[in-house]
Chains A and B, each alone.
Chain A
Amino acid sequence: MSFFESLRQKAPFLDRIAENFTPAITRDEKFKLEYKLPADENILDDTNADLSFVSAFGKLKELQKVKNTNEQAMAYVYSGKLFLTPHYLLFRDSFDHSSCIMVVNLSAVKRVERATSTAYAFSLLVTLYSGSQIVIQFIGLRYRSEQFCAQMKLRLKDNVPNAKELPEFLASCYSEFLLRKNLLRIKDITVPPAGLGQLYKYPGNPTVAKEKAKLRLWFNYFKEHGANIGIVKNHEFQKLIRIGVPNRLRSEIWELCCGSIYLRQAHRGEYERILKDNEGKSSQAVEEIEKDLKRSLPEYSAYQKEEGIQRLRNVLTAYSWKNPDVGYCQAMNIVVAGLLIYMTEEQAFWCLSNICDIYVPGYYSKTMYGTLLDQKVFEAFVKEKMPVLWEHIVKYDIQMSVVSLPWFLSLFFTSMPLEYAFRIMDIFFLYGSKTLFQVSLAILKVNGDDLLEVEDDGMFIAILKNYFHTLSDSAHPDSSDIKYRQITKFQELLVTAFKEFNVITESIVAQERNRFQKSIFQDIETFVKRTQLRHMPKTFNLSQEQLSNIYDIFYQSIESHKISMGTGSSNMEFEIFIQFLSKFCDWSKPSETDNDPSFRKQKRGFLKRLFKKWDSSRIGELTLYDVVSGLDKLITQDLLESINFFFSLYDEDDDNELLREEVLQISEGLLFLTEPWKTGRYVDELTKKSIENGIAESIVKENGSAITVEQISLPSGVTVDEEKYKSEQTERYLEAASNFLQRSFEYAKPLELSEEINLIDLSDDEDTDSGTKQKNYEAMMANAALDPTHPKVLDLATFRMIILADETYELFFTSTFRNSIHVDEQVDPSEGKEKALRNMFDGIIADGKRVAEEVRRRVDSVATKGSIASSESNSQTLNGSSTTSGTSHISASKDDRMDDVDDFTTEHPNEQEELLSTSWIEMDSAPDPSTNQNRTLRAISAETSSDQKDLIEFETN
């Protein structure tokens, strides 16, 4: 016990650990995420190695040419790890993981040979398409190195076909164009396609941004370290990005940093294909996109013209088709409009894809959970890093999200002048979503003193708005130092963001996201549920609480749908519908009978009809709305309505008449629905009544007529013969089923009046039939009444009459069926199968009051032997008395009816036998000790209060 005690004491602490623990992702996932490789690039092998990269155009090469030597000794050598994936060779230095990152697409490898090595070491010389060379010196066991090489050889072979497509792909890279034009002096080289900015001007002033100088720096970098799909990224690469990428190169650097260049290469042509396949198609997303096209960076001239609008439309719709879970979210239009200033449609498409998947997951989802989560995380950071400001914000109840939410959701495009937003984008693509947090924190920090003065939302917003409009101004206009004076507010912002808030790392962001995720998801689920329930149809029979239960069961059933993330379809397919009903409908619960093919057919037949009936929009799927309105009708209190509904399931043409085939199906449906009672898995009111009578009987017998209700107690000797009641009930249901079929055909009307004469003939036929070979169900099917040449129909009125003529079926539609649908039951995921197979006696609401009343009635009426006798035959009498529209069949002797039952069994001989036997098997397998067939009742204590809910407690041994 003390062990558990101490565990409990530790629990809060453990909770805290769990809170701060980032969910484990696999090494592969981490690897792909870090290097932004496509999802299928799992690590095939890795090894330690030393690597040096000698560019075809680098200084080293020139030196070599001059000296005419072949030594590599002068190249930088990095120690690190080499990874092989299906399409990439990736090297990472082990010094700081950013001094030398090389990502080479295997299709770019031209030749691999063993290097002339100085030592005994095992080295490879890899030559790329560009002529650049990589020297890999393997470290470690020789055979492991050999293994790696063998694996690499296989992969290289696989990638040979891709190499053919390489030139075309490279033609789309501006870096390649720069190198070829300036180094190889190729004249007739086509300029790679560019974004809208090339035609409509890039935002900002090119002279101020020192475009040309920056482009030169990048050219030199490519010369020395390779470019695009064969590049080595080092600290200089990061530095060049931080000072601002030149306009013409932005598209390539962005896609290189965010990894979309790999997607674009791997899925060449897919973008065009998606557009073509979905041309002219409409969807909610397409409509929403259309509304916003002219509202996306409308002040940028390209988006006032059809050309810009069309590009935007293409990218947004293509993405909505590619990722229907996201579809389209406002703010994506602004982000894509921004991307398209620099990128081609295809580049923007893949870039958007990685933004949504890797950079800001969940931001644009249907529930926008990522947005909500990051706002929460941001507030936590503000609270932690700037507690004074945070207190002020809370004190004046300032809704900070009004300003901060657009920073994250539209990546600063709507907040800052575009040229600055793009500078932040450069860094965002390089370092990830932490950049958004760092910059946002810095914005508040820089304006901290002013913000502490504000007293309402309006002032808060105004200060920041003004700040964004003056980002190009000097941060220190009054300084005497000219150098100091030249520092702009934007530069100051970047310094603050990346110096002061460099403590905000990607892993801290991930940790914080994880901390708040659960509560955000819960909030969303609560919100979604509330909203959906609010929009449910008006229900007449279902209460709010029951609606809430149905909602829970509905979405618990559709496992593919994540409410909090808004992914997956929220509609219900037929197979799930079956599982859904089985969670709370007695007749749909899984049972042994499901193994019987003919029963399964009945079950699916009925459920299919129900499904079709509920499917209001005829899409082969049910919405929650459908299910709620359907269930509301199904549990109606109105007997006639209930019968009518059941009839309408089979009356597909709505003419209030069922044809022969439909009559057979409706009887199958009834057979299926009543199965749980037929097999004795549950007891209906009639059986319950007769059991109660039985108990009362015993009490009276035991105590004589002197007993008063207050004294009721049951001696230990009294037993209830469970089996007897069960078989009685089974018999009753079988009988009802057989009567139903018989009467249906007996009372069916001829389809046309002219055939009235036939009716007599037919009924004659039927009589002969029933006289001779009634035992054969087959014969009944072939019966003249069913003869297709003499079609007869069963109309609604007749159907109702037939149902009402049978006590069991009448009761079934009055209450048994309704009560078998447990919309009150709370969802309990732990509910096992055993519980579903309830014991017959557990189903009895052993209503002490009623037993007591029964006893009193007997006592009061001076319990004579006569009354005992009458109660003995109670169920039989009831059976007969309520059959108002009495027929010859009703008054037929019990033996006759048994014959009818036999008729049934000959039709489904195995079925019936199995049904009967299974019910006992179930009984035996039930874990409850009370399943003993003969149950000893020890004592009954009844209360005289009028409260119906008071129960007699059955104490079992």
Chain B
Amino acid sequence: MATYSTNEFRGGLKIMLDGDPHAIVENEFVKPGKGQAFNRVKVRNLQTGRVVERTFKSGETVEAADVIDTEMTYLYTDGEYWHFMDPNTFDQIAADERAVGDSAKWLREQDTCEVTLYNGEPLTVQAPSFVELRITQTDPGIRGDTAQGGTKPATLETGAVVKVPLFIEEGEVIRVDTRKGEYVGRVKS
């Protein structure tokens, strides 16, 4: 069982706390000159996303979480699982709805995603920060309204719906920021 000492603590380190994998968000070293040293850390529970604060006496060790971030290619979904492939080993894994979460609506076959594995099983799937997707449905824009900066909903090829400017038309490819779910720009084809 791998362990980390508090002096190895740094942002991003994956550790086990209360039976759940956590990532260290922030590590603060606290020490009175003539006294005991402490590490006050903010950790994010990788299962629930909840951030909590914990304090350790310096020199304590904690179990390392078997968590790795890996780039994988999205293959397809069968409705229940989303299937990914490691482009180097060609190993395939299946992620359930909990792991894929909101990323599902941005996934297009053959796109590369960051998949976080915990004990070899997918814990979270992170869609690329920016994706380029074709609009499959949107109402025609009404000319003259563009000065108002108005928007209208557009359905993308993955099924996601984003707000786009009125001048955008069906069949166009747009760039979307998946972290905010926002239209970024038109992609010239």
Partners in one complex: no
Chain A interface residues (CB < 8 Å from chain B): none
Chain B interface residues (CB < 8 Å from chain A): none
